[in-house]
Structure 1
């Protein structure tokens, strides 16, 4: 049985460069990179040394706080470099892939096994990395029991990959993963899909299906959590991305950790936006330059969507959780008297000299220019217009900035993640880095409260 969730507050940002629904195999990447920073709060202890050979699904490092939590290689090959930062921090593990791939056999698994056996299998095989928790938006603690598990199967962010398309034909893997995860909680597995969509997630058993509609961030898992059951002090919920269910399910069915992922290459700087089949950690150059992205162009490459993704170089790698590469113009030019004339080519929630509200279906070609400078918060009331959670966004941001833990708790910090504030950051007239502020606030709470 499905339950409807309709979001009224939010903002759809329609951009030029949505990926066409055709899939190609990306050029096989020779080099892969895994960055421990993708797994926030994890302190890695290296297992695979430079020069060692690894199979796909073999352990690269484990969590210092829980040795059973493994993080594995997406491909077989040779560990050619361990990039270190200050205090010998591990910044990246680089792997040169074999021409013929070999896999660690983790063994086929009965999804009806006990919760403890399922948990141990996911930890040992590297699939635990795909399970995050709230509070704190970090890799889930293995010794906790979630009140419920939440999965968003609807992507509403600008230029996001269409999950109905990328998950098509993966019903068996999705069902295996959801069946296993349902054993780990008594509160059920809540899955959101687009209203009236043909999502492969719609027919899952052992799941509670919610049909969502409305503007972005209706597709954020944080919105689903807030509307179904907000996280209170002392409670924990887990989240899993729909794309990662496929990897978990395939591991349970076949015993192989297959890091294959369908990626949307999108953005106004891409002449032929489309989907590619590649693997976690691959070089993005294997996809971007054959599709009309100019090598000498002044563009920004983003692993993830344009609101909450990570900036990478043209020689960078796909991060562990993303299923889209966004390429948009770099906004390092400035308009003379841009603040003092009518604006027709930008998105704005304000009607003062802006006219995007008159063309709700128009697609825009935006760049990364912030169109203003950093300044103190201005009380406009605009944040509440695009923020559908039952939380005061400005107040919680300020509480994070002056590090008042009691106030952060009272305002609902336990249920938020940085991506929930991507839209308020986009429309912020003060040009404050909302997502960075929330991330630092969550880190402080994790350190002080745990």
Structure 2
């Protein structure tokens, strides 16, 4: 029996620049890059050196900790540059496309007749294992530890997020194949959460379906896990996003790894916010060409709360299906703290009036409207944090590195994105997501 999820705590940040449901197919582009930093905690071991010719789906590097976990090229072409930083850390592996898109053939399979070990080995060989992430720690899943359940969130509640009901249209066969494969990987249930019955994932078989409603972060998978099957110490759950399910499903049905995604171009700085098709790792300049108002603009790979800043010469994140462009907030507002505010979102009613018109859309910039300072106890974090956790206490435990306290306060249940809203409303301007990421890394390092 499904369990519907409805939360009241949270905050919907309504912004100008929602993508129109029109998809433009762009030229493939010439330069692509895979960034090891997209795969948190992975130390890359290079397989394709500069000058190597690769096909789409061929491995560029593997994880140093487990050579079975491969990271493939999105295109066929030549590895033209391996960009390194301090201490020879690999920052980017650039591939120049040959324009023909030749795929490595991994072979069609009958997923219904496969065992869990066969499915796992197929995902390893094809480079699809990085799509499977785990809680705790929010990292690529450890294949040696079986999950008690697998979760798929097909409802995105973040500001201007891509509409999954739209981008997944026509992908029912791929989604079903991928879900069938996931059921082989766990003795528990595969939980799928949707926002409406119109979702293509609402009709898949062999899953426990949940309908979610409420403000952001109801679409975050941590919120859904906490409501459906909370994580206890020693337990693991796996998480896969719907767009990655499509890639896995197409691999199973065709034998080819196709990393093409439907990307939402969102934000007030796009002339025409819309959907486009693009490969993972595509160069941003080719995706925003003749559509970006490039006058003091910040381009973000992902959403405004948890995305990564990229320039036009940067590259689309491996897991991202959204590019956001908003004004750069590098101006100073005279007496901004001492006058009524009508053009910003705030959970406080002190000289702010966004609560009077909850449906109004705002054109916000990147200005933090204040400077970094010590934590101020206001009780506001709990208003937008739906998990049964004390957010400020967990943040402080991460800062002073008390492992026992972090465990007791629920660090195993969270990911950095779950603290994006508390960071947004924080009057102390503390980097909540960075603090949680460092805390989770410490837990993993010390406790495994």
TM-score (norm. length: structure 1): 0.98
Q: Which whole-Å deviations, capped at 9, do the CAs of 1:37-77 have from their partners, x for residues lacking one?
A: 11111111100000000000001011111111111000000
Distance 2:269 2:262 in 1: 20
**Structure-1 residue corresponding to 2:136:** 135
> Are 1:37 and 2:40 an aligned pair?
no
**Structure-2 residue corresponding to 1:360:** 358
1:41-190 to 2 correspondence within 5 Å?
Answer: 41-112=41-112, 113-190=114-191
Distance 1:53 1:187 in 2: 42
Distance 2:360 2:68 in 1: 50
The Cα shift of 1:197 comes to 4.1
Distance 1:280 1:98 in 2: 16
Distance 2:172 2:365 in 1: 37
**Structure-1 residue corresponding to 2:204:** 204
Distance 1:238 1:99 in 2: 36
Runs of 4+ with deviation above 2 angstroms: none
The Cα shift of 1:435 comes to 0.2
**Structure-1 residue corresponding to 2:429:** 431
1:10-409 to 2 correspondence within 5 Å?
Answer: 10-112=10-112, 113-194=114-195, 196-291=196-291, 293-295=292-294, 297-409=295-407
1:409-420 to 2 correspondence within 5 Å?
Answer: 409-420=407-418
The Cα shift of 1:86 comes to 1.8
Distance 2:281 2:151 in 1: 25
Distance 1:206 1:334 in 2: 55
The Cα shift of 1:90 comes to 1.1
Unaligned runs of 5+ in 2: none
Give SS of 2:436's match. helix
Distance 2:99 2:136 in 1: 42
The Cα shift of 1:393 comes to 0.3
Unaligned runs of 5+ in 1: none
The aligned length equals 447
The Cα shift of 1:27 comes to 3.1
Distance 1:133 1:267 in 2: 30
Give SS of 1:122's match. helix
> Are 1:445 and 2:443 an aligned pair?
yes
Distance 2:290 2:320 in 1: 20
| 2:3–2:228 contact (8 Å) kept in structure 1 | no
